Structure 1
Amino acid sequence: MNVSFNKRDPVYVQVIRHFKEQIATGVFEPGQEIPSRRELANRLKINPNTAQRAYKKMEEAGLITTERNLPSKITRDEHVLKSVRKELIMEAVNDFVYSVRSINVPVDEVLELVKEKYDDKSDGKEVKDD
């Protein structure tokens, strides 16, 4: 488990985001056991209280379930799983739209460029200049 922490957001929020990304991409499957709080803290080199807080928030959001002394697991609730994916997509779209709108690019031009880039089979990191 590899997480690059930024200095901007609280660590527990970044841990939750990492879990959401892993769920959305299928790395974590519904019903899959996840590391214990202590194990997660050791793996990520974070405070155990931070790991506990992240797990508590994920339980409250329905992302994970914990029964008694059994290991925590990724939810099997399809509604929650779909909402995680949609949330991440909407965050990316909102950030993108905000950036593009700030430089006054017409929506038709944006849509064409997005379609071209989306259909591009390369890694998508290089910027094409016409």
Structure 2
Amino acid sequence: MNVKLNNRDPVYLQIVRYFKEQIAIGELQPGEEIPSRRELANRMKINPNTAQRAYKEMEEQGLIYTEKNHPSTITTDKITLGKVRDELLVEAVNLFVTSVRSINVPVDELLELVREKYTDNRDGEA
């Protein structure tokens, strides 16, 4: 579990985002068990209350479910799972558009540059 925490966003939301990313890329599968709240807190060296808050948020969003005396698992709801990737993509695009809109780049030029960079950096380089 390799979560890089930043100082600007609440830790529990960063954990939720991490789980969403892992779901979107297929690292976490529908129905898969996830670490207990206590185990997550120990692994990440965070307050157990923060882990609890992250799990509560994920349960409210329908990403995970927990039955009494059983480990929490990733949802098997296809609609919820499908929305995860879309949500992350829209969030990234909105952030990008907001940051480049101020320099008035023509859309065609912008799309071409994005296409080039996306293709050039497929190996994960920035």
- Provide the rounded CA distance (Å) in 2 between the counterparts of 1:13 and 1:124: 24
Q: Secondary structure at the match of 1:103?
A: coil
Matches within 5 A, 1:1-130: 1-120=1-120, 123=123, 125=125
Q: Secondary structure at the match of 2:79?
A: helix
Matched to 1:31, the amino acid is G
**Which of structure 1's runs of 4+ aligned residues deviate more than 3 A?**
121-126
Q: Is the 8 A contact 1:35 1:72 kept in 2?
A: yes
- Aligned-residue sequence identity (percent) comes to 71
Q: Secondary structure at the match of 1:8?
A: coil
Structure 2 residue ranges without an equivalent (≥5) = none
Per-residue deviation at 1:120? 2.7
Q: Which structure has the bigger radius of gyration?
A: 1
- Provide the rounded CA distance (Å) in 2 between the counterparts of 1:99 and 1:19: 26
Task: Name the TM-score, length of structure 1 as normaliser.
Answer: 0.91
CA RMSD of aligned residues (A): 1.4
Distance 1:72 1:124, change over 3 A: closer
Per-residue deviation at 1:113? 1.3
Task: Name the TM-score, length of structure 2 as normaliser.
Answer: 0.94
Structure 1 residue ranges without an equivalent (≥5) = none
Q: Secondary structure at the match of 1:52?
A: helix
- Provide the rounded CA distance (Å) in 2 between the counterparts of 1:105 and 1:2: 36
CA distances 1:50-73 after superposition (whole Å, capped 9, x unpaired): 101110110011000101110000
